[in-house]
Structure 1
Amino acid sequence: MFIVVVSLVVGVLHLYPWKRIVVDNTTRGSRGRRIGNTLFVLLPLVMIAGLATGTSIDPAVAQWLAWPGYLWLAVFFYLVLVLLVLEIPRLALLRWVRADETDPRAGVSRRALLTRGSAVAAGVVAVGVTGYGVSVAMGPPTVTHVPMRVRRLDPRVAGFRIALISDVHLGPIIGRSYVQRIVDLVNDQQPDLVAIAGDLVDGTVEDLADAAAPLAELRSTHGTFFVTGNHEYYSGYRAWVDYLPRLGVRPLRNEHVDIRHGGAAFHLAGINDHTAYQFQDPGDVEAAVRGRDPEQALVMLAHQPRDVGEAAAHGVDLLLAGHTHGGQLSPFEMLVTLQQGAVAGAYEVGDTRMYVTRGAGFWGPPVRVGAPPDISVVELRPA
């Protein structure tokens, strides 16, 4: 049903660029019209096929649909965006077009000049921005150092560093070599602890075990911890929760552990994804903090920033999250803010501080515009 709904929405949305690029610039029955019509049928179908098969078939096969389908998704997004922006000068020049329908010197109507110019401009910008975004997304993640003051943190723990990884999205496009690069970047930082805040995979253990294998090489003083993201629940979360400990990664499932460092300690908690209740595996902040020492600082891992309200209500001092990708395709971050209440960076809700990473990978298009991939090294400091 989800794929049917997406297909219908995608089909309707494609009518607008089809009208502006194909219908407005070609004549009925012409070769250009036929080519345009064919592309505006095939490309959406490939995109839908890529979305539908990304987590359900062997990534080695799925990539042949994922690459063209996801790239078209990004081009389509910016194509629509630019065409909408160009509607403003189109309306402003409407009187100029109507006043003189033809340019006798060139033999081309002003209307044709305007429609063709808009189509060319939209195509050039959409392809150019997408190409730039591919180079950013497929490049190495930036390493961001973030000092965060934490209420109740014992001064003896000051300087404790957590390497925060999120949204790797192992699957048809991101594979073992990309994970190895992330692992090497993290190990170079020599962190005290590694935290993976969900959406590690887009596929099954059977298909992605080899790609995930480099995670076993992560090195830190206190180990690697993991909480589920929404995409784990599309990929067989139980199998991944059982498999990750073989790689030295400990899932935190609505629970907390004590991290002892420098003669002091703080609590590290983790909750299941905000939408996990749909899979009978709900996140539970209350269960995660039950039995805590109220005198010790409490740091919590959660996939989605919108858990911060409940975290604040239960006395969490610092929430570390991901999920947003920083918007991934600017200006999509505006919608992310409406849905999550945060995009990337540091926030405060009551006495609780929150840091949201942009994520180390990407979902869908291998494209990042205005939101480069990120590994965050969060340094804890006493408030």
Structure 2
Amino acid sequence: MAIVFVLIALLVVAVLVTGNWYVWRRLFRDTTRGPGAARRAGAVVIAGGWALTVGAFVAERSGAPFRLQQVLAWPGFLWLALSLYLLLAVLAGELLRPVLRRILERRARTAKAVTVPATPEPIPAGQGADRVPAPASRAESAGDHPGTAAGEDPGGGAADGRGTPAAPSGPSRRLFVSRVVGGAAAAAAVGTVGYGTYGVLSGPRVKRITVPLAKLPRAAHGYRIAVVSDIHLGPVLGRGFAQKVVDTVNSTQPDLIAVVGDLVDGSVKDLGPAAAPLAQLTARHGSFFVTGNHEYFSGAEQWVEEVRRLGLRPLENDRTELAHFDLAGVNDISGEDRGQGPDYAKALGDRDRSRACVLLAHQPVMIHDAVEHGVDLQLSGHTHGGQLWPGNLIAGAVNPTLAGLDRYGDTQLYVSRGAGAWGPPTRVGAPSDITVIELASRQA
């Protein structure tokens, strides 16, 4: 097992080194004429960025002073996102390079084909035999530019007979193409990360969906549950972000609020003040909480007590019977190593199955146990919808449902993309959301 882990680690390191060398080559080596400050600066930027990224993860996991975590988190996590999109952008640029080269070559051929020979100056009658033209200076015969060959543009490209610069040729053309493609790749990566970060920091948007439940009585038709997952309060997203989430949830005026895990990335000591706005959550039938995998990295027992103090009710393998349906919650599967994993028998074993049941469970993979226990609707998060494209391909491969509403037998599963972000405070192709689920009775 240890050998397998070492081999995988070596493979990951090899891929990272190769990818970063490739980015450095395309953005710095190929866009400069030779060794110099620009190439060295590029190497320093890339190596320094990864040093900050590793430092940010190590500081967070090792419980370093919170201020140090904050200092490292912003540049370190943003570099992680930026490096991904720099790599994708320069890879996409490989498709552009041959096209741009062909365009420049075609321009050069066209410029050469339309070269018009200089028209000799007409000689007035009677002066043809006697007039001797003055010898041209060497500068004039070389195209009016000292040190420049005739018919050549002083900027390095060929020129046509009318003095119009044409496309660069040879090494100059390759350098021009590399600079255009490299500049476009850098701009695209920075723009993508900037837009994705702005989307996260602006706060989640409200998504509304109607879910019919066969066992829901007519009196509960239109019941609204605000589903909040994956807020990820930590060194980057703090109290101000928590306040935005709370204000957004309260603006929907839900009947019930379900916080389905991954609330924090850090200890109660460091993040207690950031989580304080959760005490303002308001719903007719209260706010409920279940643990996610990140709670078990951050002190799950302490956070369960903290959210209880803030007015949320933790459902630790527990169930409450509301007026028209049962609401149950199970611990995340990450708690199994600590003897605090999900216990479906405790939460659901003795319930009246003629009543509708809504289950809060952080990870979508828990749906199969929910089906076995006759749950009508499971509410989950965890996937972030992939968060950073093309991460959705990986997240979709390891989760039964990536985002949205799905059905497994008689059980429906809704997966939220989450309100915050983990690692880079950036989302691309998977905007954050708070979902208001309106339950519908088929008897209505």
TM-score normalised per structure 2: 0.78
Deviation at 1:141, TM superposition (A): 1.5
1:21 corresponds to which residue? Answer: 27
User: One-letter code of the match for 2:262?
Assistant: D
1:148 has 2:211 as partner: yes
Distance 2:100 2:426 in 1: 34
Q: Is the 8 A contact 1:10 1:44 kept in 2?
A: no
Q: Is the 8 A contact 2:32 2:175 kept in 1?
A: no
Deviations 1:188-247 (A, max 9, x none): 222111110100000000111111111111111221111111111111112112222111
Deviation at 1:124, TM superposition (A): 0.6
Corresponding residue to 2:79 among 72, 83, 98: 72
Corresponding residue to 1:285 among 344, 351, 368: 344
Cα separation, partners in 2 of 1:43 and 1:210, compared to 1, 3 Å: same
What does residue range 1-383 of structure 1 map to in structure 2 within 5 Å? 5=9, 8=13, 10-26=16-32, 29-54=35-60, 56-90=63-97, 104=158, 106=168, 108-260=171-323, 265-383=324-442
Deviation at 1:41, TM superposition (A): 1.0
Cα separation, partners in 2 of 1:293 and 1:138, compared to 1, 3 Å: same
Q: Is the 8 A contact 2:59 2:68 kept in 1?
A: no
Q: Which segment drifts farther, 46-55 or 135-144? A: 46-55
Alignment RMSD (CA, Å): 2.6
Q: Is the 8 A contact 1:97 1:111 kept in 2?
A: no
Deviations 1:271-296 (A, max 9, x none): 12233324432223343211111100
Cα separation, partners in 2 of 1:315 and 1:109, compared to 1, 3 Å: same
Distance 1:309 1:353 in 2: 11
Q: Which segment drifts farther, 143-152 or 55-64? A: 55-64
TM-score normalised per structure 1: 0.90
Distance 1:279 1:361 in 2: 26
Distance 1:300 1:71 in 2: 35
User: One-letter code of the match for 2:317?
Assistant: N
Q: Is the 8 A contact 1:198 1:226 kept in 2?
A: yes
Which blocks of at least 5 consecutive residues in structure 2 are unaligned?
A: 109-155, 159-165
Deviation at 1:310, TM superposition (A): 2.2
Indicate the percent of aligned positions where both proteins have the same amino acid: 43
Distance 2:349 2:410 in 1: 19
Distance 1:67 1:172 in 2: 8
Deviations 1:164-184 (A, max 9, x none): 111110111111121112112
Deviations 1:343-373 (A, max 9, x none): 2211111111111111111111111222222
Deviation at 1:118, TM superposition (A): 2.4
Cα separation, partners in 2 of 1:96 and 1:178, compared to 1, 3 Å: closer
Q: Is the 8 A contact 1:27 1:33 kept in 2?
A: no
Distance 1:15 1:186 in 2: 45
Deviation at 1:82, TM superposition (A): 1.6
Cα separation, partners in 2 of 1:221 and 1:15, compared to 1, 3 Å: same
Task: State the number of aligned residues.
Answer: 377
Cα separation, partners in 2 of 1:276 and 1:114, compared to 1, 3 Å: farther
Q: Is the 8 A contact 1:11 1:44 kept in 2?
A: no
Q: Is the 8 A contact 2:89 2:188 kept in 1?
A: yes
Deviation at 1:320, TM superposition (A): 0.6
Deviation at 1:93, TM superposition (A): 7.5
